[in-house]
Amino acid sequence: MKTVMADRRWIKEHPDLGTGPVPTDTCTSPELFELERERIFRRTWLNLGREEDLPEPGSYVVRELAVANASVLLVRGKDRKVRAFHNICVHRGNRLVDGEKGVCKGRFVCRFHSWAYDTSGQLTWVSDEANFYDLDKGVLGLKPIAADIWEGFIFINLDPNPSETLAEYMAGMVQQIHGYPFAQQRLLCRYRVEERANWKVILDAQNEVYHLPFLHITYPDFCPMNEHKFSRIQKFTRFGRHTVYSVELNTDHKMKPVESIAINANPRGGQVHPSMIGWFDFYTVFPNFCMLFLAGTYVTYNIWPLAVDRSIWEVSMYHPATEKPSERFAQEYSRCLLRDLLQEDASNHEAIQASLMSGALSHFQLQDEEIQIRHFHKEVRRHIFGEENGAAAIGNNRDAAELRLK
Amino acid sequence: MNTLLPNGFSDLEQFAEWALPTSTDRNRKRRASSMDAINAFYNAMRPRLEEILAYLDQFSLQEMPQDAQRLLFLSLSLAEVTIAVELFHEPRVTGGCDPERFVVAREITP
């Protein structure tokens, strides 16, 4: 076994993350939520799905990003390039495309005055054009949003001048995950769950395995555990803003009868790709995107803030594409199991949020196996308060209210 | 409703009401059923499961006779109720949120 069971391991590798309690204020303060909106969600690369969501030239998806007050149109052009635009007609600001997705066969036409755009965003038709003054269709066009693709994942950046390319932003993760066979995987299902919880409460609850034997008591032996039956991760790695924690296969896991048949029916689902660190790798791609590699399958979370105490949790489960019924059965078992365990989590997220809103708890207490959360909150604070103040707010355990006044 | 299953599986026709095509319907059926009904279905299906999967694997998911597809839907319902039987020992997720809040935005069928 590769997992080291000793206590207090990770702080030795990451002393800069400190050991003090972490403030809860970013989960409850509307004022700090406004800072997150401006300094995180309008300035970082955000995942909006995968290339397969736009299968053919003209395929489009509209995403409403409440956190940025933005409606984003993703479209694949005739040249097959994926572009992102503000979903706004440049004439007088009407929403250009209604509906969540589709295929644009010709042009996007605004229903207000019939202005039309091609799939590369060019303004191609203005009704009654001769009656305008100095109107140059060639320079108008849809307002572009920076967009790029990494391993088939589509990212946008609402900053008009992003300070980093997507490749720079992803840092060393690019090398770690390179070669993973994303193209062989297919979306089995996507759930959308609206929760009365801050986006970080949802993310934090997934970003550790300490809770597994307790909250998920009916499935308690997912992870290797120490002699006291407390879970231990195999490895914790940081890539700039992002992290991955890895868990080794627990060979002591006791299988139930149908579970065992499902696992045996799905050999591909059990295969660990060489790009993986453990048997289960949980990546947190800052700010709100998680990738969970679970042996031969993977799951993504996109956690979209609606308000300081409301979010949408999108869960997408990917499995090897198959036409084989026994494999499909095994995938359905895996889906039902994860969905039900996540329903335990969802109930918990809302209980936490309700408690935090009382204002009675100013700080979270974190142990060594929750170092992922420590890193994440440090990054959140670094983005909203700036380099020096962000670190101080965690490391010296100072009240963020004091920092806000500076 | 046609409840016919392939030759050799007719004893399972009494559970035809579990042959539901969507995950949402299978989950609702589980939650609307008593644990006795769920156990009866699980206990009838479990010993036959490997035989069922071997039979279904003669076909591709997209090109199945209707009776085989009904058997596939029964097996997918077994995947659904297995969580109730093997984990929670009750139809619902103990302590979980309202399952209707997990809205299916996209899914593969079957």
Tens of pLDDT along B56-72? 999 999 999 999 999 99
Closest CA to A198 of A299, A292, A287, A315: A287
pLDDT higher than 90, residue B78: yes
- Shortest distance between the Cα of B1 and any Cα of chain A, in A, equals 23
Q: Does B64 touch chain A (CB under 8 A)?
A: yes
Assigned token pair, A284: 């947190």
Interface test with A, best of B67, B98, B102, B103 (most A CBs within 10 A): B102
Which pLDDT score, from 0 to 100, does residue A1 have?
A: 87
Q: Does A178 touch chain B (CB under 8 A)?
A: no
Three-class SS state of B19: coil
- Supply angle C-alpha A350, A332, B97, rounded to 5: 15
What are the chain B neighbours of A325 within 8 Å (beta carbons)?
53, 56-57, 59, 61, 64, 72, 75
- What domain range is B87 assigned to? 14-101
Which residues in A252-284 are b (16+ Cβ under 10 Å) and which e? eeeeeebbebbbebbebbeebeeebbbbbbbbb
- Cβ within 8 Å, pair B105-A190: yes
User: pLDDT tier at B3 (50, 70, 90 boundaries)?
Assistant: confident
- Supply angle C-alpha A89, A95, A101, rounded to 5: 110
Closest CA to A364 of A238, A198, A129: A198
Closest CA to B76 of B3, B10, B12, B27: B27
Average pLDDT rounded to a whole number, residues B38-43? 98
The answer as to whether B3 is a domain residue is no
The answer as to whether B43 is a domain residue is yes
Q: How far apart are CA B30 and CA A47, in angstroms?
A: 34
Interface test with A, best of B93, B98, B103, B104 (most A CBs within 10 A): B93
Q: How far apart are CA A64 and CA A41, in angstroms?
A: 13
Which pLDDT score, from 0 to 100, does residue A390 have?
A: 55
Q: Does B65 touch chain A (CB under 8 A)?
A: no
A322, A325, A342 member nearest B59 (Cβ): A325
Q: Residue B4: CA atoms inside 13 Å, Cβ hemisphere, count?
A: 6
Q: Does B54 touch chain A (CB under 8 A)?
A: yes
CB A368 within 8 A of CB A9: yes
The answer as to whether B108 is a domain residue is no
Tens of pLDDT along A143-201? 999 999 999 999 999 999 999 999 999 998 989 999 999 999 999 999 999 999 999 99
The answer as to whether B9 is a domain residue is no
Q: Along chain A (406 residues), what's the average pLDDT of each consecutive run of 10 residues? A: 94 96 98 97 97 96 97 97 98 96 96 98 98 95 98 97 96 92 95 98 97 93 94 97 96 93 91 95 98 96 98 97 97 97 97 97 98 98 83 46 43
Assigned token pair, B91: 């139809």
Closest CA to B9 of B63, B75, B62: B75
- Shortest distance between the Cα of A268 and any Cα of chain B, in A, equals 16
How many beta-carbon contacts under 8 Å exist across A and B? 124
Q: How far apart are CA A48 and CA A53, in angstroms?
A: 10
Assigned token pair, A400: 């963020």
The answer as to whether B52 is a domain residue is yes
Task: Report the relative pairing of strands A153-157 and A185-195 from DSSP bridges.
Answer: unpaired
The answer for residues whose C-beta is within 8 angstroms of residue A153's C-beta and 6 or more apart is: A47, A49, A50, A51
The total number of structural domains that make up chain B: 1
- Shortest distance between the Cα of B38 and any Cα of chain A, in A, equals 14
- Cβ within 8 Å, pair B72-A265: no
The answer as to whether B85 is a domain residue is yes
